[in-house]
Chains A and B, each alone.
Chain A
C-alpha cells in the first residue's frame, strides 16, 4: 500500500465503479443472478479506498486545535489526468472582453493569442474526501440491499450497471477540479437518474416521472451552463485549482489558493480577484438555480416526489442520499464566490427555508410512505440551503454535517420503506397496512431509529446536525445574542460588518473591469436590492420558519411511523399470506445504517472533528469565510427549542394516530381548507401546468396549425424549386455514363467562363 500514491488511489475511486458498470453491461446476461458481483465489487473497492483517502486527508489536516486560534492551512491535492481538447493558439480575446488570464493584465490593444485546453483533473480535499466517503459507503450498503430487493426483476443486470455508472458519475462530480468536467458529470448523474426513475419504463407513470425529472432538471442545468459561460468570460479559466502556464507563470484557478490568498479583501490591486458587480451576483444566482434544479428546491422541486416511481434502492441512493445533495456540494465549493454577495447568500437561505417549510407542510398529508420521505428529503435539503446561505464557516460545515447524517438516516428510511413495500406486495399506501412491527421487527426498529434521527430526537444523528443549522441561523438573526463569542474570535456579527466593508470595493471591481461598464449603475441597484434582504428581521423570520419546520418534520415522520408500524396488524391483500421480514441481505444494510444514524451525530459533534476537518477545504479557508469561525459551543437554549418542537410534533402525531384506525382522513378534516392546499402540494404542478405547459401546448398547437396551413402552403410553393432542382439532379443522376461525362465537362466549361469573366472585370 505504501507504494501506491494517493493520486493513484484517487483515480481508482471513480474507475472501479466504472469498470464494474462496464463489466456488468457486457457480461450481465451471462452472469444471470450473479450480475451484481462486478458492480458491488467495484463500489466496495471504491468505498474502501475512499475511507483510506479520508483518513490520509484527515491526517494531513491534523487534529483539532481547539478554538481555531490560527487560520487552518488549506489542504488539497490535484491529480491532473490529461489535457483534453488542447488547441494551441486557439483564440484571441476580443479587445474589450474580460476574458483575461487573471494575473496578466490585458491591455486594450494587444491581441494576444491564447491556447485553449480543458484540464481533466481530480482533486482531493476535505470536502471531496467527505463526499466520496458518503457516496461510496451509502452506495455500497444500498447496492447490497438491492441484491435482495431487485432479486426477481428481469432487468437485474441493467439495474446494477446503471447503479455503478451512477456511483462513477457522482464520484467524478465531487472529485472533478474543473467547472466543465463538473458540468459533464452533473449531466451524467442526471442521465443516470433519468434512466433509473424510468427503470420500469413500461409503466406509464414511471416514464412520465422520468421525463418530468429530466425536463425540470434542464432548467437548472441551463443555469449551470450559463454560469460556466460567465465564469469563463470573467476568469479566463474554468479550473478550480492553480495551474502553470507554458511560460512558467501561475494561472490562478477560480477557486485556487492564489486567488483565495490574494483576494482577501476583494481588492482590485491584484487582477486575481473575484469578478464583481452584476456579473458576480448573476453567477451566484445562476449557480443557485442549478443547485435548485438538482437539489429539488422551490420552485424546481416538483420532480423529486414523482421520481419515487423508480426502484426504491435508486430512490434511496440517488433521490435521497447523494445526487440531490450535489447542489449543496456545488454551493459549498463555490463559497468564495457567494460570500461577496450578501444578497445572493440571503437568497440561498430564503429558498432553503421556504422549501423546508413548504415541503414539510405537504408531507403532513401524504399517504404514500415513499412520498412522505420524498417531501422530507426536499425539506431537509432546504435546511442545508438555509444553513449555506448564512455564509459563515459554521453554516457551510453544518450543511455538510447535515448532508452526512441525512445521507445515513434518509437512506435507512427509504430502504425501510422499500422493505415494507417488498413484503406488502408492492403496496406503499400507509392507509392500507398497519401494525407491521409484529411481522417485521427489524425493519420497524431500524425505521424508528431513522425516524428519530429525522425528527431530531436528542441523541440521534439528526438532532446534532439540525441543532448546528438552527444555531447558525440564530447567530445571523440575533447577532448580539452571540456577542460573547465575538470577543474570543471574529464571529458572525463581525463578519457581517466585514462584508459590508468590502462591498464597496467589490462594486469598484465591477465598474473598473466588467465588460458591461455601462451597466455599472444597474449593478449597484441589483446588488442593493438583494442586499437589502440581508437584515436581521429577515433572518429572524427564516429562523422561526426553520424551527416550525422542525416541529412539522417530527409530526409527519411519526405519523408515518405510527400508521405503518403500530396498531392492529393489517396487511393488504396484494401481500397475500406472505407478509414477512425481509431476507438478511436486506436487513443487514438497514442495521448498519441504523447504527450510523444513531452514533454518527454524537461522535462527529462531540469531537468537533468534521467542522475542523472541513475548514481545511481550500474554498472554506478563504479569509471572509474563515474569519467567521466560532468555537464549538452547545447552545442549550436552541437545543431545548428544537427538542421542544420535535416533542410537540411527535405528541400531536401520537394523539392523531395512536389508538385509532389510522386510515381516516382526520388530519385533513382538522386542517380544513389548508389540508386541501397541502394535499394539492400548493398547486405547484397545476401552476406550472397552467403557466408554462398549457400556454406552450397552446403555442405548439397554434404553430402546428400555422405550419400546416400557411407554412406548408408556402413550402409546397417553394418546394417546387428544390424539387425541380432535385428532378434535374436526379435526371443527371440517371446512371447514364454519357450524361455524367457531359455534365462534368459542362461544369468545367462553366468554371472557365466564370473565372475568365472574373479576371476581365
Chain B
C-alpha cells in the first residue's frame, strides 16, 4: 500500500472533482450564460472523468490516502458508475416528460427547457457521490457519499414530474430514504464503537483480533450493527424489508428516472455491502478471533435469508403486474435478491476459511467467487436495465386512438402497460428486438450476459465446501439451497419477461408508438445492445475484471493502516 500526501489525494480524486466541476458549469451556465441543455456538458464531464480513471490504473497496487482507497475494486466500481452514468445521461437528455396531465402551457414549457441544466448538474453531483462511495475507506466519507447519492435523487425526482403522481413518488422516496439513512448511521456508530476508529481498515483489524474484550463488545453490538446496516443497504438495493417504495416510485416517475433509480442506488448498496463483508475477511494467514467469525457467520446467514426472501417476493409481486414500470420495479427487487446471493456466498466462504485459518483466495475461490459473481451480475444487470428504460424512453408515447370524426384529438398517452407494447415488432423492429434481448438477458437465457451472471452466482454458491456432504445446518446445505432458490426464481421470472416479449412479437395493434423520446435515448439503447452483444460473444474480459475486483475487495481492504511496505498485488492477477 502506498501512502500519499494530502495533495496527492486531490489528484486521486480528480475524476470526482471533474464531475463536480462539470456540474458547476452546468448550473452556472444554465442560470447566467443561457445554456440550453446541460446534458452535453455532463457527457463531456463524464468522458473526462473516464479518461482520468483510465490514467490512474496503477497495476493493481493499492493506494490509501486519507479516507480514500484506490484498488482494483474501487476502479471497477468507478468504471461501472461512469459508464452507466454516460448511458443514463443519454437517456435522461431524451427523457422530456410530456404527459396528458402536464400538457404544457408555454410557461411550463420554458421552465421545462431551462430545467435540463439543473437536472444535468444534479445528476453529475449524484455520480460524483457514487464514485466517492466506491473509493471511500472511511465511515464518514462513505456516509457523505451515500447522502450525495440520495439528495440529488430527490431533486431529480421532483424536477422531472410536477403532477401529483410524481410528487407522491418523490415524497415517498424522500421519507423512506431518510429512515434508511438514519438507520445506517446507527450502524456506523456501532462500528465506530467496535473499532474505535472511523477507518474501515482499523475497524476490520479490531474486529478480527483475538482480543477477548473485543469479543464481548462485538457480541453486544453485532445484531444492531448488522441489522441497521442492512436496512440502509436494503433501501438502496430495493431489497426486503425496504423494498416497498420501488413499484410506487417507478410508476410515478419518468422512465429515465426509473432507469436511474433501478441502477445507481444498487451500485451504492453493493459497494457498501462489499466493504462491510470485507471487514471480517483476513488478508493473510492467521487466526481470526471469535468476533470476526461471529461477524461473518451472522453476515452470511442474514444476507442469505434476505436474498432468498427478496428474490421470491420480487418475482411473486412482478407476476401480478400489468403496468410496465411497476413490473420492472418488482423485477429489480428480484434482481437485488440475486445480487445478495453472491455476497452471502462470499461471507459464507470466508467464515469457513476463517475457521480453518487459511487464506481465502488461495483455496476458497474456484470460478469467480461470490463477490466477483455479484459484481459481474451487477454489470450485466446495469446494461440490460438501462437498455430497457432507454428503449421505453425512446418510444415515448402511443398514438391515441382517434379519427377525425370522433371529436377533438385526445391527449397523447405515455406507454404505461404491457399492452401498450403490442405489435411493437412491426412498427419499431429495432427497439422491439432490443427490448426482447434485454428481457431475455434479465431472464437469464443462454448465451446472453444475464445467463453468465446467474451461472456464475449459482456456481459460486455450489462451490462452498465443494467436497463436503450436504447435511442439515451446514453452510453447504444453505448455499446449495440458495442456488436452487435462485434457479427456481429465474424460472418464475421468465414467465413475466416472456409475457412482454409475447406482447411485442405475437400481438398486433392498430395504434403504434410515436418514438418521440429523443434520439439520444435511442443511441443509449443501441449502445446497451452493443455492450450486451459484446458480453454475449466474449464474456471473458468482464469475468476477469469482475473476479479481480472481487478478490481485491477482500484482500486489500484490511491492509495495515500504518503500512510501512507497499503491498503490490500478486503479479499473476495484474492487468492482461
* Interface of A toward B, CB cutoff 8 Å: 82-92, 111, 113, 722, 726, 729, 732-733, 735, 737, 739-741, 743-753, 755-756, 758-759
Contact = CB atoms under 8 A, between A and B. Distances in A.
9 contacts: A83-B540, A84-B447, A86-B540, A89-B365, A91-B366, A741-B179, A744-B244, A752-B228, A758-B301
A733 B247 contact: yes
B229 to A, nearest CB: 10
Contacts of A755: 222-223, 226-227, 298, 302
A89 B367 contact: yes
A760 B336 CA distance: 30
Contacts of A759: 219, 222-223, 294, 298
Contact of B538 (A84, A111, A732, A750): A84
Interface in B440-460: 447, 452, 456
Nearest to A758: B298
B172 A737 contact: yes
B244 A732 contact: yes
User: For the side of the interface on B, what is the size category?
Assistant: 35 or more
B223 A747 contact: no
A737 B227 CA distance: 21
B171 A737 contact: yes
Contacts of B301: 758
A759 B299 CA distance: 12
Contact of B248 (A83, A85, A86, A735): A735
Contacts of B390: none
B409 to A, nearest CB: 30
A87 B367 contact: yes
Contact of A113 (B224, B366, B456): B366
A737 B452 contact: no
B224 A752 contact: yes
B73 interface: no
Contacts of B538: 82-84
Interface centre among A83, A111, A735 (most CB of B within 10 A): A735
Contacts of A735: 248
A689 B257 CA distance: 57
Contact of B313 (A111, A729, A756): A729
B543 A740 contact: no
Given A86-B540, A748-B231, 20 more contacts: A84-B538, A88-B543, A88-B544, A89-B365, A90-B366, A729-B317, A735-B248, A737-B172, A740-B244, A744-B242, A747-B231, A747-B242, A748-B230, A751-B227, A751-B231, A755-B222, A755-B223, A755-B302, A759-B219, A759-B223
Interface string B217-259: 0010011101110110001000011101101100000000000
B565 to A, nearest CB: 28
Q: Among the interface residues B222, B223, B365, which one has the most CB atoms of the partner chain A within 10 A? A: B223
A83 B298 CA distance: 40
Contact of A90 (B222, B230, B298, B367): B367
Nearest to B320: A726
Given A755-B302, A756-B223, A746 B367 contact: no
A737 B452 CA distance: 38
A551 B290 CA distance: 87
B506 interface: no
Contacts of A758: 298, 301
Given A83-B540, A88-B543, A729-B313, A741 B175 contact: yes
A722 B316 contact: yes
Decide if the interface of chain A is mainly helix, strand, loop or mixed: helix
B223 A87 contact: no
Contacts of A82: 537-538
B327 interface: no
A745 B179 CA distance: 8
Contacts of B240: 747
Contacts of B223: 751-753, 755-756, 759
Nearest to B540: A86
Contacts of A737: 171-172, 175-176
A751 B313 contact: no
Nearest to A759: B219
Contacts of A84: 447, 537-538
Contacts of B547: 88
Given A737-B175, A755-B222, A729 B316 contact: yes
Nearest to B218: A759
B11 interface: no
Contact of B366 (A89, A726, A739, A747): A89
Interface in B169-187: 171-172, 175-176, 179-180, 183
Nearest to A113: B366
Contact of A85 (B219, B244, B367, B447): B447
Contacts of A733: 244, 247, 317
B402 interface: no
B316 A747 contact: no
B227 A752 contact: yes
B231 A744 contact: yes
Nearest to B245: A740
A87 B455 CA distance: 11
A92 B180 CA distance: 42
Nearest to B299: A755
B247 A746 contact: no
A462 to B, nearest CB: 43
A210 B324 CA distance: 35
Contacts of A87: 367-368, 456, 540, 543
A733 B241 CA distance: 12
B466 interface: yes
Contacts of A753: 223
Given A737-B172, A741-B175, A748 B241 contact: yes
A167 to B, nearest CB: 22
A387 to B, nearest CB: 37
B539 interface: yes
Contacts of B544: 88
A737 to B, nearest CB: 5
B248 A92 contact: no
A131 to B, nearest CB: 26
A350 to B, nearest CB: 37
Interface string B542-568: 011001000000000000000000000
A220 B134 CA distance: 52
A732 B241 CA distance: 11
- For B230, B241, B248, B301, the residue with the greatest tally of chain A CB atoms inside 10 Å of its CB is B241
A760 to B, nearest CB: 9
Interface in B453-493: 456, 466-467
Task: Give 9 nearest A-B pairs by CB, closest first.
Answer: A747-B241, A755-B223, A751-B227, A740-B244, A86-B540, A756-B223, A752-B227, A748-B231, A744-B242
A191 to B, nearest CB: 16
A744 B179 contact: yes
B219 to A, nearest CB: 5
Q: Which of A84, A86, A755 gathers the greatest number of chain B CB atoms within 10 Å? A: A755
